[in-house]
Structure 1
């Protein structure tokens, strides 16, 4: 399968639907995918005629996170370190760009929302999910760190729940995600999800565009999700871990569908 169109953008009046379109990789974030997503975010910032943005994934999954085939590719260590620092900085900036859009952003989630995909969920203003949705911050199980998603998880779930999901690295089902505040509403199936999405969009469109944008600006004025110092520390930490032998083993074990060497029973 190819990645000719890794992100699809379709418009219906004042609503823009952005669909991550790598279903063969559970919409994992390749360099091509995030480059196109960043372009769309820049366009949205400058288009006041769009009032609602819906973020979803193709093929029954939302987003499996960073494409680990790119992280684990052989590369000169110094080049790899610099590349991972830049990649992680850009990840944090992307979450901020989604949150700072003047439009209302709704995440419509089916299937997997893991790692960086989880960051997209928490950067959105409203998160709706079908009952088959699953959520996880599995970075530590891959020898990596949840560097840039961590502050967004804290904002959405609170520090206690974010601590647990990041350190335990387990998978949350939809009911647990709703209980912890990770998502706002769970719908029984895809049809119900789409119906509720339509109702939420209709509610939002009852609001004045300028008032909605100003309300989002006021929410942002309550304080940053993370300081610039944290964002840089996260980028450095992610780069260090991605260059560490633990990450090599963690990514290899993930690809080979086995436990990493440090796990009991490996």
Structure 2
């Protein structure tokens, strides 16, 4: 079952494919999925035979972000504050681990790519999407903050575009995501996405493995993803908002498929 294998990992020679596999939740990030990601990333960081990592989602969606139904459970306010600080800190570090891999990382996106899903897309070296893909950073509509995806959004699309995306918090289509720079290319359908993915993998494999890894190191040396101290401040901000009355109302409204009290 999907939740028993929340991250499907397959390998074809030097190409590793990681598929987020919780289709009933549009591949929302659960604790178990996060732990599976961490195991895979630790392995790939030491693997010099793997040369490409492809990230995608199962059943026509990429990733809907953090699973709020799971995250909304358990404990005293103090315990929840500590739990969410730790969880969000790890989410931010995970995106950094993806970007730091020696492999070339390609995101192939269909359907929903929301919230934390944007972090995966923007931490990848190259991002493609089918025309049916949809993108959103809806955190403020849930009473939350886009703490750990914000540096990645700003790096990929620029601060101005990221500002509008996280403050309006609406859904944009793949064409708009491509226009603002979240994507490298938009393909007309799933078949075209597969063809472009295959072509890019073939192109990457023409490069020398060591030279590609060194080039990624040089790109990282151009500057950090965020200022010193941001990751901890972001984790703390997420935890504060998550344990607030606004988040309680926002998550309840999300689960009930209604507007929160502050919306009109």
- TM-score after normalising by structure 1: 0.98
Offset at residue 40 of structure 1 (A): 0.2
Higher mean C-alpha displacement, 68-77 vs 244-253:
68-77
- Looking at structure 1, the residues matched to 50 and 140 of structure 2 have their Cα atoms a distance apart, in angstroms, of 38
Q: Does 1:196 align with 2:196?
A: yes
Aligned partners of 1:106 and 1:127 also within 8 Å: yes
Aligned partners of 1:71 and 1:242 also within 8 Å: no
Instruction: Report the counterpart of residue 132 of structure 1 in structure 2.
Output: 132
CA displacement, residues 10-62 of structure 1 (integer Å, 9 cap, x when unaligned): 00111000000000100000000000011000000111100000000001000
Shift in alpha-carbon separation, 1:248–1:179, aligned structure 2, 3 A:
same
- Looking at structure 1, the residues matched to 228 and 85 of structure 2 have their Cα atoms a distance apart, in angstroms, of 14
**5+ residue gaps in structure 2?**
none
Aligned positions of 1:12-91 closer than 5 A: 12-91=12-91
Residue correspondences, number: 264
Aligned partners of 2:140 and 2:146 also within 8 Å: yes
Alignment RMSD = 0.8
CA displacement, residues 187-234 of structure 1 (integer Å, 9 cap, x when unaligned): 111111001000000000000000000000000001110134000100
- Looking at structure 2, the residues matched to 50 and 169 of structure 1 have their Cα atoms a distance apart, in angstroms, of 37
Offset at residue 72 of structure 1 (A): 1.3
Instruction: Report the counterpart of residue 218 of structure 1 in structure 2.
Output: 218
Instruction: Report the counterpart of residue 176 of structure 1 in structure 2.
Output: 176
Aligned partners of 2:253 and 2:259 also within 8 Å: yes
User: Equivalent residue of 1:146, what SS?
Assistant: coil
- Looking at structure 1, the residues matched to 228 and 244 of structure 2 have their Cα atoms a distance apart, in angstroms, of 25
- TM-score after normalising by structure 2: 0.99
Q: Does 1:158 align with 2:158?
A: yes
Aligned partners of 2:143 and 2:242 also within 8 Å: yes
**5+ residue gaps in structure 1?**
none
- Looking at structure 1, the residues matched to 95 and 2 of structure 2 have their Cα atoms a distance apart, in angstroms, of 26
Instruction: Report the counterpart of residue 10 of structure 1 in structure 2.
Output: 10
User: Equivalent residue of 1:28, what SS?
Assistant: coil
Instruction: Report the counterpart of residue 111 of structure 1 in structure 2.
Output: 111
- Looking at structure 2, the residues matched to 44 and 58 of structure 1 have their Cα atoms a distance apart, in angstroms, of 21
Aligned partners of 1:84 and 1:239 also within 8 Å: yes
- Looking at structure 2, the residues matched to 77 and 174 of structure 1 have their Cα atoms a distance apart, in angstroms, of 39
Higher mean C-alpha displacement, 51-60 vs 226-235:
226-235
Aligned partners of 1:19 and 1:58 also within 8 Å: yes
Aligned partners of 2:28 and 2:66 also within 8 Å: yes
Aligned partners of 1:62 and 1:112 also within 8 Å: yes
- Looking at structure 2, the residues matched to 245 and 189 of structure 1 have their Cα atoms a distance apart, in angstroms, of 42
Aligned partners of 2:2 and 2:23 also within 8 Å: no
